[in-house]
Each structure stands twice: as C-alpha cells, then as structure tokens.
C-alpha cells in the first residue's frame, strides 16, 4: 500500500476546487497553483526513486484487491512522464502569470489548468482502463473550457470543432470499452493482458484492439489529425503551449500502454497498422510544415511529425526503440511547449503571423533569437540537446527490427523539421530588421524567463541523459516485458495458474 501514488491526481483537484473560492484573489491563485505543481514534481521524483527500489508499485483504492477494484500503478514510464509533464505545466503557468491577463485569471483559468493536469497525471498512473476513460474526460472537459475561454469568433468556431471531435472520440472509446468488457470480462489492464494472452490471436480481440487504435489516434493526432492544426492555433499562447505539450502526449501514452501491455498477441496486424499510420502521419506532417506560411500552422504540423515519429518507435517495438520512445516523449513535451511559446512571442512582438512579414528579429531581441535557435536544434535532434538520444535509440531499434522504411521516413522527417524551422529562423530572425528602435515592443525579461527555463530543461535532458538512463531503461524493460507489470498488479504466482488452465 502506497498512497503516495494517488497524490499527483488528488492534490491538483483539491487545489483547483479551493481556487474556485479564491476567484478574486489572483495573487493567491498564482502562488497556490505553482506550489501545487511544484509539490507534484517533488512527489514524482520521490516515486521514481521508490519505483527503482521496490519495482512497479500500486495502490488499490479502498483496499479492493485487483482485478475487482480500481487501482493506480506507478512504473518508471508513467512516473517519468508525470515528472516532465508537471515541469512543463509549471513553466507554462509561469508564462501565463505575465501574459494571460486578469480577465482569464478571474474566469477560473488556474483551476482549469490544474484540473487538466490532474487528468493528465491520472491518465498516466491509472491501471484500470475504465478509469483511464474517466481521467481522459477530466482532462478533456478542462481543455474544452480552456480552449473556449475568451470567446472570439474564430476561437469559438475552432473550439466547437474540437469539442465535437473529442466527444465523438470519447463515445467510440466507450463503445470500445463495452466490446472489451463483453469479450474479455475485465477492465483491469493487467488482467486484460493476461486474458488476451490466454486467448491468443483471437480475431475478435484484434478488432477490439483496432477500435482502441482509432480512439487513441484521434486523441494523439495520429493520422486522424484533421482537427489539430486548426484547434491549436486559436487559444492564447500559454494555453496552446500546454495543449501542445500535454494533450497529444496522453494519447500517445495510451497507445503505448495499449499496444505494449494489452493487445500484444496479434502484432502482425496491430503493429503493422501502427507503423503504416505513423509513416503516413510523418509524411502528412512534413507536407503541412513545408507548405505553411503561418508560424502557428508550421508549429502545429511539427507536433504531428513528433507524434508520427514516437508512434513509429512503438510500431518497431524492440526494447531499444521503446527506450527511444520514452526519451523522445519527454523531449517532445519540453520542446513542443518551447515551440509554441516561441511562436506566441514572435506574434506578440510583431503582431504578424506570416513568416514573410517578419524580419530581422534577432537584431531587436538577440537573446530570444538564440533561444529559438537552441529550440530548433533540439527539435531537429542535434547533439547534445535532448532530441538526439531519442532519435538514435529509435533508429537503432528500427535497424534491429529491420523496419528500414520507418527508419528512412523518421530521419527524413528530421531534415524537414529542421528545414521548416530554419525557414522561420532565416526569414524572421535574420535579414533586414523592419522594426525600428522606436517601434520595438519591449520584451521584458520575465516573459522570456519561461522559454529560458525550457531551454535549460532541454539542455539538461540532453546532457544529463546518462543520469536518466537507468530510469529510462527500467521503463522500457517494463514496457517490453508485460509480465513485470502483471506480476506487480496481480501478485505473481497466484495468477499463473489461470494462464496454465
């Protein structure tokens, strides 16, 4: 019994509710939300160290033994993601302090952010697939509110699309859950995994797996991403950065969990489909990023390339590829938040969105310009920044597994990412400066601070990769060998009998 696992979910929820009562007092709201996120970061570090010592940990809610009750499971993969997600969320909240405006702060901005973070943490930690649905909904409901806060005309139009798509996806999720419960008769993830292995490559189970694939692809922006570029460009920068960093990653996390733990028996069908979808997502993302002239569009399509690349690693599925997936997921959260913050700041200082209308920003804001440069190198995967190791490991996995098409596509996409961002850099940061000293909008240090913090994160994640290695290795091992997870949840030998029966 380790109640600490539930804290990343419950503490943000309770703070969010307390903040509702402190609606008028913005200062307290800011301090409390930052403290909460800091506390969750601290808890996740403690958890990470505990998991290394004790192996996969779990907490059975009100003492109901699995598979009968709901439980939270902490393995290295989930805890690492909780750790990075909360760091990124905290930095985005700091950016919101200085930019989002009083109007938002009084319309329950911080409670919604905390609820969304609670949903994200819950999705990472839960060990029950229906509970995963509930945590998804908590996260999505908060995101519906965040995307429509402010309520301009364009914003409401895109928000409506976003809400409709997600409601349909949630409905399919529910249908898939019903199918799953009908065929397997359990909702506990470890127990599902056990029963699926027992049944072997059953066509019915594969079909259910493919329905889950559709659901999570919609949420992750894998191939079914038509809603994403529109929705992510409308909200204010701080919210867009949070969405870009966290929401699609939760979808990817669900895909990874589903196709490493639950549906593993018929991998010719499921993993091949995943591979094809990942390849197509990378291609489509590259085309979008190359064709875009609006910085926000280019940034949105860059998310898709990242999604495609991570899922390619999942489709390859060897242990080193899964290590790469873990590294790259953490890296992607940090850099996508950076990308959206940087793009938001470019729009803030110039008032323009098209790259052709900006020029010579690096002369006006040299520090900001070089931060953009660091981010660009990091996304493209240039060592020693954080993107490098993930790419290398996924590449290594692809060679081991013989998936040369995905390998080629993945590394081609790195070049295109670099090109698309270099285009922004050359046309907007270099060249003749358009803004004269008098027109120059001041860019206070506190607004640049979050971007600086994220740059430090990406550098630390790249240089400190060696010290992260044991945790990432453990995460990949647990993903690659589902029996570790199942043993931890179902108490080992007790359930071995059921498989042999």
The rounded distance, in Å, linking the Cα atoms of 104 and 484 is: 45
Backbone angles phi, psi at 454, to 5 degrees: -65, -35
Tell me whether residue 187 or residue 358 sits nearer to other proteins (CB atom). Answer: 187
Among 3, 24, 53, 467, binds other proteins (CB under 8 A): 3
Query: Cβ 105 to other proteins, closest distance in Å?
Result: 16
Closer of 8 and 401 to other proteins (Cβ): 8
Looking at the Cβ atoms of 138 and 238, the one nearer to other proteins is: 138
Q: Does 24 bind other proteins (CB under 8 A)?
A: no
Q: What is the spatial distance between Cα 190 and Cα 500, in angstroms, rounded to a whole number?
A: 16
> Side-chain half-sphere of 202: how many Cα atoms within 13 Å?
14
Is the CB of 60 or the CB of 137 nearer to other proteins? 60
How is 301-346 classified by DSSP, letter by letter? HHHHHHHHHHHHHHHH--HHHHHHHHHHHHHHHHHHHHHHHHHHHH
What is the rounded CA–CA span in Å between residue 12 and residue 115? 6
Q: Which stretch binds other proteins (CB under 8 A): 16-24, 250-258, 301-309, 451-459?
A: 16-24
Residue 20 as a binder of other proteins (CB under 8 A): the answer is: yes
CB of 62 to other proteins, least distance (A): 4
Of the pair 18, 399, the CB lying nearest other proteins is at: 18
Shortest distance, CB of residue 13 to other proteins, whole angstroms?
A: 6
CA pseudo-torsion sign 29, 33, 34, 38: positive
CB of 59 to other proteins, least distance (A): 6
Q: Per-residue x/- mask for other proteins, residues 43 to 82, rule CB under 8 A? A: ----------------xxxxx-------------------
Given the rule CB under 8 A, which of 7-15, 82-90, 369-377, 394-402 is the region that contacts other proteins? 7-15
Residue 146 binding other proteins, by CB under 8 A: no
Residue 153 in contact with other proteins, rule: CB under 8 A: no
The verdict on 1 binding other proteins (CB under 8 A) reads yes
Residue 87 beta carbon to other proteins: minimum distance, rounded to whole angstroms = 24
Question: What are 126's strand-pairing partners?
Answer: 72
Q: Which is nearer to other proteins, 59 or 277 (CB)?
A: 59
Closer to other proteins at the Cβ: 16 or 245? 16
Contact with other proteins (CB under 8 A) among 6, 223, 238, 329:
6
Residues 83-102 that bind other proteins (CB under 8 A): none
Give the position of tokens 């570790």.
484
| Beta carbon of residue 10, minimum distance to other proteins (angstroms, whole number) | 6
- Say if residue 437 is exposed, middle or buried (CB neighbours under 10 Å; 0-12, 13-18, 19+): exposed
Per 3-state DSSP, what percentage of the chain is helix, strand, and coil (rounded to 5)? 80, 5, 15
Total residues at interface with other proteins (CB under 8 A): 15
- The two three-digit tokens of residue 423, written as one number: 């285009």
Minimum separation from the CB atom of position 9 to other proteins (A): 9
Cβ 186 vs Cβ 275: under 8 Å = no
Which of these, 373, 299, 371, lies nearest to 339 by C-alpha position?
A: 299
> Residues 14, 204, 290, 291: which binds other proteins (CB under 8 A)?
14
230: nearest Cα among 292, 280, 172, 282: 292
Q: Considering only 6-14, 256-264, 266-274, 361-369, which stretch makes contact with other proteins by CB under 8 A?
A: 6-14
Task: Quote the least distance from Cβ 232 to other proteins, whole Å.
Answer: 27
Q: Which is nearer to other proteins, 107 or 210 (CB)?
A: 107
How far is it, in rounded angstroms, from Cα 166 to Cα 368? 35
Please state the closest distance from residue 442 (CB atom) to other proteins, in A: 38
Sign (positive/negative) of CA torsion 164, 166, 167, 169?
positive
Q: How far apart are CA 251 and CA 120, in angstroms?
A: 10
Q: Which residues of 83-104 are buried (b: 16+ CB within 10 A; e: fewer)?
A: bbbbbbbbbbbbbbbebbeeeb
Residues that bind other proteins (CB under 8 A): 1, 3, 6, 10, 13-14, 17-18, 20-21, 59-63
């Amino acid at each position: 019994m380790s109640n600490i696992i539930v804290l990343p979910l419950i503490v943000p929820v309770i703070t969010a509710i307390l903040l509702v009562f402190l609606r008028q007092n913005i200062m307290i709201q800011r301090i409390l939300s930052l403290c909460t996120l800091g506390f969750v970061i601290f808890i996740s570090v403690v958890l990470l160290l505990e998991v290394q010592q004790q192996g996969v940990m779990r907490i059975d809610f009100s003492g109901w033994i699995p598979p009968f009750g709901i439980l939270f499971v902490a393995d290295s993969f989930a805890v690492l993601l909780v750790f990075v997600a909360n760091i990124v969320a905290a930095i985005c909240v700091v950016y919101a302090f200085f930019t989002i405006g009083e109007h938002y702060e009084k319309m329950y901005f911080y409670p919604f952010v905390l609820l969304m973070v609670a949903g994200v943490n819950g999705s990472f930690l839960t060990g029950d697939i229906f509970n995963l649905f509930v945590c998804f909904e908590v996260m999505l409901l908060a995101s519906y509110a965040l995307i429509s806060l402010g309520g301009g005309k364009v914003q409401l139009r895109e928000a409506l699309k976003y809400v409709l798509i997600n409601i349909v996806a949630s409905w399919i999720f529910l249908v898939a859950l019903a199918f799953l419960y009908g065929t397997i008769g359990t909702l506990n993830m470890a127990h599902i995994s056990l029963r699926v292995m027992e049944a072997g490559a059953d066509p019915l189970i594969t079909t259910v797996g493919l329905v889950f694939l559709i659901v999570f692809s919609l949420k992750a922006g894998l191939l079914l991403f038509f809603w994403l570029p529109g929705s992510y460009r409308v909200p204010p920068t701080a919210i867009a950065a949070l969405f870009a960093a966290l929401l699609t990653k939760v979808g990817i996390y669900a895909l990874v969990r589903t196709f490493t733990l639950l549906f593993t028996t018929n991998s010719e069908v499921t993993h091949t489909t995943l591979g094809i979808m990942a390849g197509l997502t990378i291609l489509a993302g590259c085309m979008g990023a190359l064709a875009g002239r609006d910085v926000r569009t280019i940034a949105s399509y860059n998310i898709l390339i990242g999604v495609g690349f991570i899922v390619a690693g999942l489709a390859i599925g060897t242990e080193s590829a899964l290590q790469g997936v873990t590294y790259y997921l953490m890296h992607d959260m940090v850099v996508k938040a950076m990308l959206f913050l940087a793009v938001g700041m470019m729009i803030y200082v110039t008032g323009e969105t098209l790259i052709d209308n900006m020029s010579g920003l690096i002369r006006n804001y040299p520090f900001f310009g070089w931060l953009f440069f660091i981010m660009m190198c990091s996304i493209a995967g240039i060592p020693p920044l954080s993107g490098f190791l993930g790419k290398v490991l996924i590449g290594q996995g692809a060679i081991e597994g013989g998936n040369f098409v995905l390998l080629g596509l993945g590394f081609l996409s790195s070049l295109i990412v670099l090109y698309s961002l270099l285009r922004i850099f050359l046309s907007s940061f270099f060249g003749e400066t358009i803004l004269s000293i008098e027109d120059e909008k001041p860019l206070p240090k506190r607004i640049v601070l979050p971007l600086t913090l994220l740059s430090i994160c990406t550098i630390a994640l790249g240089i400190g990769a060696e010290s992260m290695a044991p945790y990432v290795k453990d995460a990949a091992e647990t993903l690659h060998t589902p029996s570790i997870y199942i043993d931890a949840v179902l108490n080992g030998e007790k359930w071995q009998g059921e498989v042999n029966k």
